[in-house]
């Protein structure tokens, strides 16, 4: 059964896990702005508006969630462990995060997803996000919103 037990702030030692995930062609192609991971992690630690959590199913890392506070919105990004993709983990990670007591005050969540990334679009929509506009922005991204 798909389960997310906990989130913990991403630790530097967990970058080795992400390095392994980035061997997956789809993750590397879509998330290449995070490379090199050590430089991305250093930037992340300098920005108080950004946080990345590792989501765990027991002792197994199931995915990472990045959140960025921008004015009254919280932007959310998600990478699911390639071994767990298409098994409901992405939806479960989102559901668990959205109901976490630390985030219940968030009134608007936003996700920017490439138009051709059907797997991520379906995941976010299954978690309750809706398309803000059916046309992608100038960079080819669709915005999905969840308002509470």
CA distances from 112 to 52, 129, 136 (A): 16, 11, 9
Distance (Å, whole) CA 41 – CA 2: 28
Which pLDDT score, from 0 to 100, does residue 19 have? 96
Which pLDDT score, from 0 to 100, does residue 62 have? 97
Beta strands in 1-138 (DSSP E): 6-9, 50-57, 60-70, 73-80, 108-114, 130-131
pTM comes to 0.92
* pLDDT per residue of the chain (148 residues) written in tens, 0 to 9: 789 999 999 999 999 999 999 999 999 999 999 999 999 999 988 888 899 999 999 999 999 999 998 887 899 999 999 999 999 999 999 999 999 998 888 999 999 999 999 999 999 999 999 999 889 999 999 999 999 8
Of 35, 33, 21, which Cα lies nearest the Cα of 85?
A: 21
- The domain segmentation of the chain, as residue ranges, is 6-147
Question: Which of these CATH numbers, 3.10.580.10, 3.40.1160.10, 1.10.460.10, 3.40.630.30, describes 6-147?
Answer: 3.40.630.30
From its phi and psi, is residue 102 left (phi > 0), alpha (psi between -120 and 50) or beta? alpha
Which pLDDT score, from 0 to 100, does residue 28 have? 95
């Amino acid at each position: 059964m798909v389960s997310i037990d906990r989130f913990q702030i991403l630790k530097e030692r967990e970058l080795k896990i992400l390095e392994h995930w980035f061997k997956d062609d789809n993750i590397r192609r879509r998330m290449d702005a995070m490379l090199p991971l050590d430089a991305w992690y250093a930037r992340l630690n300098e920005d108080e508006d950004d946080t990345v959590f590792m989501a765990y199913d027991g002792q197994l890392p199931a995915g990472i969630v990045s959140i960025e506070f921008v004015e009254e919105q919280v932007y959310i990004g998600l990478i699911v462990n390639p071994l767990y993709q298409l098994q409901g983990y992405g939806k479960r990670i989102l559901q668990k995060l959205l109901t976490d007591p630390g985030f219940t005050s968030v009134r608007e969540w936003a996700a920017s997803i490439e138009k051709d990334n059907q797997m991520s679009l379906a995941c976010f929509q299954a978690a309750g996000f809706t398309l803000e506009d059916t046309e992608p922005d100038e960079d080819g991204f669709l915005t999905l919103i969840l308002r509470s």
